[in-house]
A and B are shown apart, each in its own frame.
Chain A
């Protein structure tokens, strides 16, 4: 084994981090002792998602997976001040000298601030680090509007951050249109139109001449533009581009690129010092700088491989971009500006659908060179891999909203990348489908990781499944061609209230155990006030709903009274104990903080519930695809760490949504502080208290495939929280498939969580009022369905053991005793069954 080499990494941004991660992961022999210098006092975080800090994410959510402290000596808050390439020593800001055998520069870039007068005034900021964001946030408290200098990617991100801080944002761009690097004038114009609609004032073709300041305080008060006009703003953010941070290399006399940056070869090694490497935004390959994270990662991987004796090279980068800026899809790939000699353009500018698409093709119209998509970038995943390949169809049809489906996809080579986040190729997706490993999008996500990043390729995955002949049936069953969501809309729109009418008008046959419970659930969601056992409705109910109790393996039932938030008085506990003793029921504490009583015979259920309802209990809907429980910790009432009243909120939510029937069960949780003792993030909706209000997480579940809920909104008031929850739950009820939990529903949604946020937080579809109204109807229509059974002889009659001997116990049900409680006698299945 060779002696341990000293490897020093200067810079702990996303690229430096990835490098350290990649190297230590592969350096099994421990060849390198790694030291990483981080100028920032916090470990690496996702800089790309910076503005999400104002959109609900907390700092922890941005943090990258920590480096192994046993392998990497990470020095936070320590920067490099000089490099001596002769002595191979880095001098740190702490005054220490660290010797190296290999040096990796990953110092990134710094924001370029144009030399306008007043740019150093208090109230002027750059947009690069979490510290920058903190500073902007503190200043935002006393400002009403903010102006961003720069209308590129970063500038629009910064504008979004200002918007999320509640400021009125302005964007000033020198070029005639937004995102000049990625977009053309048409795309830029549509983008400007779309974000103006969101309250962002866009000023293009405008040069900033000075930052105006208050003569007394010296603070920024706005900017003056070249045409003499003035934008008043308490905050000025410079986001006019970045420059490589190459000062260390410059001072060490390393060769630089013509536009700065450490000149490197295709292995990312300095062209002038073989012991020095440069990766990310500080590296210049053939003079070109790369300001995106993906090429930075590729460089990190290249150097890690080279240091371990590999032969990797950095191939240059595909600067294709797809992102959502202020909720607007923007994508650009290949030769987007048509710079190839003779290139031709096909443009589809659709003001009605508010989308803009341009394809650049070769002079003989045979090859796709690049393109731009704004407003609707759903075609990006299909088009981007085609760049440089023969056009599979007429370019106009490739841009058309519904044209060219599958044609382009079929023409893609197997090596084409479908998911660029996880580098999954079409071939990998197809072989997963062919091997039977995945039959749907969630299956593909699980086995190939495709679609688990930005999610933009999910529609492509669906198309590939369809093209591979995997039927993605939306039909509920043989009786209905419609999906559950469609049936919901049909039922709501027509006002149909019986299955018979629905199946005769919109289906065929007499239904089955799939469509009948689905329709029962839809009817229950739409008409909370109607009892689920009345008339024909009883025949639609699935096993447990049929008798408002959970059928167990021996044909007996379990009974679960509601204990909102898990809070119960001793007196009520006593009632439960008495009922259990009287009816010989097995008792167990559930995971949802209530008590399950097992072993009740059908004919005993009314008597059991009579005792329970008389004592003030009501149905817990443990039998329903409905709201189950809202679990809570004790919160600030008792807990030394609690910051909010979690029990109070849990009870309020459980009572608000009790009886709400849905495509699947719904569980909630409320924790009174970030310690999360209620395990709220394992629920469909989880609420966690913060110092400033509540964070709402959605889409969690335990079960077969456990998932943590993801942050939907943060630091909202109780009122706001309930409003968003109302919308979230109703949107789920309206649009999910049958038996689809919220996690799978969000995962299958085009656009995933961010689309969900668009709909239920930002009301992009304009349906929030109707969602809230539907929830208000549910709440007003709620009554305890067990009490309603006890009050009605016709409903009670459904709880007879035998039609010809209503109170006689069924002798086929037998019990034995284990650990002091009654349990089912061992089952005696009749199989194999011989004809008598």
Chain B
């Protein structure tokens, strides 16, 4: 799989995020990504729409870990998603889009969704 070098979907300052508190980022198509600054300083971004409810809320979920894997829990139905792969750990058939993230000089750039799979997060 090739990741096309395109313009970033969105940019925002790293200071807009607080550790383990997600934020929604508006994307050009009107949808949103849920972006998270983890405890270790890395940044992840997944689709913000809760697939079980169709509501744009995953950015408000509680960030934590399951056996070391960074996760977010849906604030509505409490299903837990892996922040690195977008996979729902409580319902393996469900996977969220994962966005490419580059952090450069205190600026976060989101790029198109990395097709999900076990692909590691595309990050700096």
Partner of B97, one of A509, A536, A813, A836: A836
Instruction: Tell me how far the C-beta of B100 lies from the nearest C-beta in chain A, rounded to whole angstroms.
Output: 13
Please classify how large the interface on chain B is, using the bins under 10, 10 to 19, 20 to 34, 35 or more: 35 or more
Assess whether B76 is in contact with A835, with CB atoms less than 8 Å apart: no
Q: Mask for A806-836, Cβ within 8 A of B = 1, else 0? A: 0010111100000000000001111111011
**CB-CB nearest in chain B for A833:** B51
Partner of B20, one of A478, A510, A803, A810: A510
Enumerate B92-124 residues with CB–CB distance to A below 8 Å.
93-97, 113, 115-117
Instruction: Tell me how far the C-beta of B46 lies from the nearest C-beta in chain A, rounded to whole angstroms.
Output: 12
Assess whether B73 is in contact with A813, with CB atoms less than 8 Å apart: no
Assess whether A836 is in contact with B113, with CB atoms less than 8 Å apart: yes
**CB-CB nearest in chain A for B20:** A539
Instruction: Tell me how far the C-beta of B53 lies from the nearest C-beta in chain A, rounded to whole angstroms.
Output: 6
Assess whether B56 is in contact with A539, with CB atoms less than 8 Å apart: no
Partner of A804, one of B25, B53, B62, B116: B25
Known contacts A538-B18, A539-B19, A803-B35: does B25 contact A510 (CB below 8 Å)? no
In the A-B complex, list the 4 residue pairs whose CB atoms are closest, starting with the nearest. Answer: A555-B55, A543-B75, A513-B73, A512-B64
A828 to B93, CA, bound (A): 18
Known contacts A553-B76, A836-B97: does B52 contact A802 (CB below 8 Å)? no
Assess whether A538 is in contact with B57, with CB atoms less than 8 Å apart: no
Assess whether A546 is in contact with B60, with CB atoms less than 8 Å apart: yes
Instruction: Tell me how far the C-beta of A823 lies from the nearest C-beta in chain B, rounded to whole angstroms.
Output: 14
Assess whether A804 is in contact with B10, with CB atoms less than 8 Å apart: yes
**CB-CB nearest in chain A for B56:** A812
The answer to the question of A726 belonging to the interface, with a C-beta cut-off of 8 Å to chain B, is no
Highest count of chain A CB atoms <10 Å: which of B32, B66, B117: B32
28 CB-based A-B contacts, threshold 8 Å: A509-B67, A509-B68, A510-B63, A510-B70, A512-B62, A512-B65, A512-B73, A513-B62, A538-B21, A539-B18, A539-B62, A543-B60, A551-B60, A551-B75, A555-B55, A802-B32, A803-B35, A804-B11, A804-B12, A810-B24, A812-B30, A827-B53, A829-B51, A829-B54, A832-B94, A833-B51, A835-B95, A836-B97
Residues of chain B within 8 A (CB-CB) of A828 are 54
Highest count of chain A CB atoms <10 Å: which of B10, B18, B57: B57
Residues of chain A within 8 A (CB-CB) of B25 are 802-804
Assess whether A803 is in contact with B62, with CB atoms less than 8 Å apart: no
Assess whether B62 is in contact with A516, with CB atoms less than 8 Å apart: yes
Assess whether A810 is in contact with B56, with CB atoms less than 8 Å apart: yes
Q: Mask for A497-524, Cβ within 8 A of B = 1, else 0? A: 0000000000001111101110000000
Residues of chain B within 8 A (CB-CB) of A513 are 61-62, 64, 73, 78, 80
Instruction: Tell me how far the C-beta of A681 lies from the nearest C-beta in chain B, rounded to whole angstroms.
Output: 32
A832 to B95, CA, bound (A): 9
Residues of chain B within 8 A (CB-CB) of A246 are none
Instruction: Tell me how far the C-beta of A480 lies from the nearest C-beta in chain B, rounded to whole angstroms.
Output: 12
The answer to the question of A365 belonging to the interface, with a C-beta cut-off of 8 Å to chain B, is no
**CB-CB nearest in chain A for B79:** A513
Assess whether A833 is in contact with B95, with CB atoms less than 8 Å apart: yes
Interface residues of chain B, those whose CB is within 8 Å of chain A, are 10-12, 16-21, 23-26, 30-32, 35, 39, 49-57, 60-68, 70-71, 73, 75-76, 78, 80, 93-97, 113, 115-117
The answer to the question of A210 belonging to the interface, with a C-beta cut-off of 8 Å to chain B, is no
Highest count of chain B CB atoms <10 Å: which of A509, A547, A813: A509
A810 to B57, CA, bound (A): 10
Assess whether A808 is in contact with B70, with CB atoms less than 8 Å apart: no
A510 to B42, CA, bound (A): 14
Assess whether A509 is in contact with B64, with CB atoms less than 8 Å apart: yes
Residues of chain A within 8 A (CB-CB) of B93 are 832
Assess whether B55 is in contact with A827, with CB atoms less than 8 Å apart: yes
Residues of chain A within 8 A (CB-CB) of B95 are 833, 835
A111 to B114, CA, bound (A): 87
Known: A516-B62, A538-B21, A542-B75. 4 other contacts (CB 8 A): A511-B65, A804-B10, A810-B56, A832-B93
A812 to B48, CA, bound (A): 10
